Structure 1
Amino acid sequence: MKKFNFGAGPSILPQEVIKATAEACLEFDNMGLSLMEISHRTKNFQAVIDEAIALVKELLKVPEGYSVLFLGGGASTQFCYVPFNLLEKKAAYLNTGVWARKAVKEAKLFGEVVEVASGAAANYTYIPKNYQIPADADYFHITTNNTIYGTELHEDIDSPVPVVADMSSDIFSRVIDVKKYGLIYGGAQKNLSMAGVTFVIVRDDLLGKVSRPLPTMIDYRTHISKGSMFNTPPVVPIFTCLQTLRWIKSQGGVPAMEKLAKERAELLYNEIDRNPFFRGTVTHKEDRSFMNICFVMADDKKELEDEFREFATARGMHGIKGHRDVGGFRASTYNAMPIEGVKALVETMQEFERLHS
């Protein structure tokens, strides 16, 4: 039986990416050595990181004046990096979920934080709108996709101040205008690589403006000056990242990824809206995520929740259990999810409906 990985992260990767990484871990670049045991200072690995950076810039059309970094520590560490490097007096944050809230908490250690809007009162079932971004803020922070609650910002924001975006779970899934962002960051373990590497795209002229002394490892300029090689980078996840970037390019680039993301989401949301056994959790349909599709049993079918989860799992639907803050189910349809996987889940939902009708 074929399995489809709907896990929220670490998550599905293209099969050719997994195979290439596995082979490199046995022997890398005809060196007679494993990728896991070579020095990151070798010209062989330097070629990997150089190509990975070049592909990020190519696929996202990153303009001049921006640097691309591959760091350790996960996106959660960037909650600290960002204000350490950019917050001098005041920062603005949009609170759209758990990860945005955690970013706010860290930023408050460094200066004044204005929460321009929050969806907390409605358990983050929508993206707040019609808020005011303070023109005197050092930056405005957003989380573009909220994995737990299934909401997503589908368009770039016009802002009077630099926008900082946590794009951990939707990077490379839609076309973005990088010029509208001062800094983009995210954990790679959803649309880009295995767990262990964090990507950062930062506008160089924003750095070096804060008055506080910066620890060497927390200063973005340290890593820019050494091409992400100031200390040993996460070698294997960066190699996997390179393979994924090559795969995205071979599939038609980010526009092709966006087209497929919309097709997968439309297919599954249509079934959720049609099927009387289920309902979506996001209250504003325009805010529905294309990456993390959250749904629960209909109010009069709650007692069937565990049964459906077991039913779907037995048919190869892996990782569809919803986050505890929302409950129900979550189908993560990242770039590597084939349309066949979503069709299989839809057929499973229809089969369950027939079984109980």
Structure 2
Amino acid sequence: MGDQRAHTFNFNAGPSALPTEVLEEVREHLVDFQGHGLSIMEMSHRGKVYEDVHDQAIRDLRELMQISDDYEVLFLQGGASLQFAMLPMNFLAKDRQAGYLLTGSWSEKAEEEARRFGKTRIAASTREENYQRVPTLQEIVYDEADAYLHVTSNNTIYGTQWATLPEGNGTPLIADMSSDILSRPVDVSKFAMIYAGAQKNLGPSGVTVVIARKDFLLHAAQDVPTMLRYETHAKSRSLYNTPPTFGIYVLSLVLQWAKRQGGVDGLAHSNSEKAALIYDAIDQSEGFYRGHAAKESRSLMNITFRLPTPELEKAFVARSVQEGFLGLAGHRSVGGCRASTYNAVPHAACVALRDLLRDFAQKNG
């Protein structure tokens, strides 16, 4: 890759960093994939060459996340935002209710969308605390009448994460893991369904991964439009219509890269080390930097913090851009600063950010 990439630190929240070696492999095979004389973008999704890539991606994800044969692995489109609607369309009848755990903007959007199809119930929320933490497990109120219980495992905007994910307590547990899938070990067997947009830890934008327990899918409504039925895609191996073939190809390379990093355990160890570098710089700044998230709810993927004044925040972001750091401005809805340290963000980038944080505080504190 070019010299400019070597001097750029990508902390964007999504689409986010991809492993350089993956991009180099894509570049090498972009015009002629494996000697077939075509780019994979030009190949039929019905042909054996693409189907081999497609099926290998499913096998690798199963291996990395230890997904049993009791689950379907689907490659869909529309991002998590479409899942906000597709989930209740399939599983929330008008005379049923579903429980939602509110921990940030995306869980709010998921709950709001579900209300279009049936009743919702807030099983726990920290909205009145400005989402500085996730609820404790003891704060969750269960109801056996729920069709499912929905949780957002990591909250990109507020920088919080469930250190221990909740149980379903007999209710089908659904998780939006868009921003922390594959970043740490997860017991898939505890969930009826997991969904995730690919553009943070799995690959480029345009692919949505859905991991759904087969017996849960049997309870889906039958009066849902064909393309919005999980059953449609499960029966066709996600090949009912033309899938985002190029995105799935890149995702397959990211999964192979993840295996070379030591799998999920290796990535989790790396992610803990990377986040600690930045959190330590915040904690040791004598109050110059103020983390938004309570320590027990801190995200290992999205580190959110404030400076003493909005002017200093603008100055910090401006300097960061000058020095090759991208994506450190906070989400427009909350302001402040945010560093997203997804799987593909190198350790060296986090060391460089730690050094920048220390130097800026020393010169402006």
**What band does the TM-score fall into relative to the shorter chain?**
over 0.9
- Match for 1:227 among 228, 237, 241? 237
In the alignment, the residues of structure 1 paired with residue 351 and residue 130 of structure 2 have an alpha-carbon distance, to the nearest angstrom, of: 29
Which stretch has the larger CA shift, 180-189 or 27-36?
Answer: 27-36
Residue of structure 2 in register with 1:118 after alignment: 125
For 2:15, give the aligned amino acid: P
- Residues 21-60 of structure 1: pairs in structure 2 closer than 5 A: 21-60=26-65
Aligned length: 354
**Deviation (angstroms), 1:21:** 2.1
Is 2:292 the counterpart of 1:281? yes
In the alignment, the residues of structure 2 paired with residue 63 and residue 294 of structure 1 have an alpha-carbon distance, to the nearest angstrom, of: 35
- Residues 65-214 of structure 1: pairs in structure 2 closer than 5 A: 65-88=70-93, 89-129=96-136, 130-160=139-169, 161-211=171-221, 213-214=223-224
Residue of structure 2 in register with 1:328 after alignment: 336
Is contact 1:157-1:180 (8 Å) kept? no
For 1:140, give the aligned amino acid: L
In the alignment, the residues of structure 1 paired with residue 47 and residue 33 of structure 2 have an alpha-carbon distance, to the nearest angstrom, of: 12
Residue of structure 1 in register with 2:21 after alignment: 16
In the alignment, the residues of structure 2 paired with residue 289 and residue 56 of structure 1 have an alpha-carbon distance, to the nearest angstrom, of: 23
In the alignment, the residues of structure 1 paired with residue 211 and residue 188 of structure 2 have an alpha-carbon distance, to the nearest angstrom, of: 9
Question: What SS does the aligned partner of 1:199 have?
Answer: strand
In the alignment, the residues of structure 1 paired with residue 260 and residue 312 of structure 2 have an alpha-carbon distance, to the nearest angstrom, of: 42
Residue of structure 2 in register with 1:268 after alignment: 278
- Residues 226-265 of structure 1: pairs in structure 2 closer than 5 A: 226-265=236-275
Residue of structure 2 in register with 1:4 after alignment: 9
Is contact 1:29-1:44 (8 Å) kept? no
- Match for 1:343 among 343, 347, 351? 351
Is contact 1:86-1:206 (8 Å) kept? no
Is contact 2:98-2:121 (8 Å) kept? yes
**Deviation (angstroms), 1:212:** 5.2
Residue of structure 2 in register with 1:215 after alignment: 225
**Deviation (angstroms), 1:304:** 1.5
In the alignment, the residues of structure 2 paired with residue 304 and residue 140 of structure 1 have an alpha-carbon distance, to the nearest angstrom, of: 41
Q: Structure 2: any 5+ residue segments left out of the alignment?
A: none
In the alignment, the residues of structure 2 paired with residue 36 and residue 57 of structure 1 have an alpha-carbon distance, to the nearest angstrom, of: 24
Is 2:337 the counterpart of 1:356? no
In the alignment, the residues of structure 1 paired with residue 39 and residue 98 of structure 2 have an alpha-carbon distance, to the nearest angstrom, of: 45
**Deviation (angstroms), 1:208:** 3.2
Is contact 1:125-1:149 (8 Å) kept? yes
In the alignment, the residues of structure 2 paired with residue 60 and residue 27 of structure 1 have an alpha-carbon distance, to the nearest angstrom, of: 31
Which stretch has the larger CA shift, 113-122 or 248-257?
Answer: 113-122
In the alignment, the residues of structure 1 paired with residue 190 and residue 15 of structure 2 have an alpha-carbon distance, to the nearest angstrom, of: 28
**Deviation (angstroms), 1:260:** 0.9
Kindly report the root-mean-square deviation, in angstroms, between the aligned alpha carbons of the 2 structures.
Answer: 1.3
In the alignment, the residues of structure 2 paired with residue 231 and residue 212 of structure 1 have an alpha-carbon distance, to the nearest angstrom, of: 19
CA displacement 1:254-287 (0-9 Å, x = unmatched): 00111111111111111101113211011x2110
In the alignment, the residues of structure 1 paired with residue 75 and residue 129 of structure 2 have an alpha-carbon distance, to the nearest angstrom, of: 36
Question: What SS does the aligned partner of 1:110 have?
Answer: coil
Q: TM-score, normalised by structure 2?
A: 0.94
Question: What SS does the aligned partner of 2:16 have?
Answer: coil
**Deviation (angstroms), 1:106:** 1.3
54 and 211 in structure 1: CA distance in 2 versus 1, 3 angstrom threshold: closer
**Deviation (angstroms), 1:308:** 1.1
In the alignment, the residues of structure 2 paired with residue 94 and residue 356 of structure 1 have an alpha-carbon distance, to the nearest angstrom, of: 39
In the alignment, the residues of structure 1 paired with residue 42 and residue 247 of structure 2 have an alpha-carbon distance, to the nearest angstrom, of: 14
In the alignment, the residues of structure 2 paired with residue 100 and residue 176 of structure 1 have an alpha-carbon distance, to the nearest angstrom, of: 20
CA displacement 1:115-151 (0-9 Å, x = unmatched): 1122222221111221212122111001101111100
Q: TM-score, normalised by structure 1?
A: 0.96
Is contact 2:153-2:165 (8 Å) kept? no
CA displacement 1:187-227 (0-9 Å, x = unmatched): 10000111110000000101232455121111111111111
Q: Structure 1: any 5+ residue segments left out of the alignment?
A: none
In the alignment, the residues of structure 1 paired with residue 75 and residue 219 of structure 2 have an alpha-carbon distance, to the nearest angstrom, of: 22
Question: What SS does the aligned partner of 2:30 have?
Answer: helix
